[in-house]
Amino acid sequence: IAPKNFTIHGLWPDKEGTMLQYCKPKPTFIYIKDQMLDDLDKNWIQLKYPQIYARDKQPLWEHEYLKHGSCCQKVYDQNKYFSLTLRLKDRFDLLRTLKIHRIVPGSSYTFKEITDAIKTVTQTDPDVKCT
C-alpha cells in the first residue's frame, strides 16, 4: 500500500557540499527492535520489499546506515542516527508545508512554487526531482 505522506529516503552527511558514503571503519548494523522499529516502519518505508520481510531483514535501513550513517558514526551511533532522521522528518513535514502554501494533490504547480514552499522550512534549496 502506498503511503499517504512523504517518506524518508535517507539522511546523508556531507562535508562542504560533498555527500559522504561508505566511511571507515565499517560499522556493524544492529537489527532494530521495539518502538524504533515501529517508527521506522511507519516513516521510512521499505517499499521494495514485503512488509514482513522488510521488518525482519531491514535491508534498506541497513544499506542506508552502512552507506551514509557510517560517515557520522563518531557523532551519532546507529540509534541516534535513526532517531535524528525521524526527528528531522517530523521537523520538516513537507505535506503540511505544501498545504500551508496551498499546494495540494490534484492540481498543477510550477517547480518553483514547490521548491519555494519547501525552502520556507529548510532554509536551503531543496533537492527535488520530478519523475
Catalytic option among 16, 62, 63, 64: 64
Domain range spanning residue 105?
Answer: 93-130
Mind listing the pLDDT tens digit for each residue in 121-130? 989 888 887 7
Same domain, 68 and 124: no
Same domain, 46 and 107: no
Same domain, 8 and 28: yes
Same domain, 122 and 77: no
pLDDT of 101? 97
Same domain, 85 and 97: no
Instruction: Give CA separation, 65 vs 6, 26, 106, 113, 120, in Å.
Output: 20, 10, 35, 33, 28
**What whole-number percentage of the chain has pLDDT above 70?**
97
Catalytic option among 62, 68, 101, 113: 68
Same domain, 85 and 36: yes
Dihedral class, residue 85 (left if φ above 0, else alpha if ψ from -120 to 50, else beta)? alpha
pLDDT of 17? 78
Q: What is the value of pTM for the model shown?
A: 0.84
Instruction: Decide if 68 is catalytic.
Output: yes
DSSP assignment of 3-48: -SS--------EETTEE--SPSSPPPP----HHHHHHHHHHS--TT
Catalytic option among 9, 16, 62, 113: 9
**Do β-strands 14-15 and 18-19 pair in parallel, antiparallel, or remain unpaired?**
antiparallel
Residues in the chain where the model's pLDDT stays below 50: none
Instruction: Decide if 64 is catalytic.
Output: yes
Same domain, 48 and 38: yes
